[in-house]
Amino acid sequence: MEYTDFIAGLRDRLARPLPGHNAHRLMSPIPRAGTEPGYVPPLPPRRGGVLVLFYPHNDVPYLALILRPTYDGVHSGQVSFPGGGEEEMDTDLIATALREAYEEVGIPPEEVEIIGHLSKLYIEPSNFEVYPTVGWMAQRPTFRIDPNEVARLLEVPFSAFQNPINRYEEQWTLRGRQVQVPFFKIQGQTVWGATAMILSELMAVMGEHGLQN
């Protein structure tokens, strides 16, 4: 499938009802903190936006992800989409995603065409409610990495996430309890948690997993 046909198909599917939790749970840690029956966050969650950006390389759809630096925080050293917390200057969460993507990896907001959204996702360890915005560009961006925000840029063909050979599952100890964690292994990095769950919904939107949308 050519890149422009892929984007047209994605745009059409994002206009339909989203699979949401049914897709998230396929790449969700079990048990997952914050999903217990009756759970109420101790404080109102902070809202955040991430940019799921497609761009072409040799007419193949690519995604841009980032490796967070090591720091004193719950998402230290994790792979994520460019994004962050909503600020007063942001008109909406699309603006949040575009601003953060520009600050972190230099993607010009005016060159991104927004084609839809994925389901919001609550992240208990950081008490964030994340809203993924899906956009595309007609050419590969000229990335400009902020080393304070990004340890490494990962440019990944979407097909790499679709390939079962890159999917794994292990038992980890997270915050003092045993958790079964599905993840992607991409370019030597482990992609798990909210990022893997967003990717899982994206694949379901494109007709994978046998889920209806």
pLDDT values of the chain reduced to their tens digit, one per residue, 213 residues: 799 999 999 999 999 999 999 999 999 999 887 777 777 788 889 999 999 999 999 999 999 999 999 887 666 789 999 999 999 999 999 999 999 999 999 999 999 999 999 999 999 888 999 999 999 999 999 999 999 999 999 999 999 999 999 999 999 998 888 999 999 999 999 999 999 999 999 999 998 654 443
95-154 pLDDT, tens digit per residue, is 999 999 999 999 999 999 999 999 999 998 889 999 999 999 999 999 999 999 999 999
159 sits in which H/E element:
helix 158-162
**Does domain 3-34+44-205 match CATH 3.40.50.2000?**
no
- Domain spans in the chain, listed from the N-terminal domain onward: 3-34+44-205
**Average pLDDT in the chain:** 92
The model carries a pTM of 0.93
HSE-CB for 165 with a 13 A CA cutoff: 3
194 sits in which H/E element:
helix 193-205
Q: Name 170's bridge partners.
A: 181
CB atoms within 10 A of CB 67: 18
| Per-residue model confidence (pLDDT) at position 126 | 87
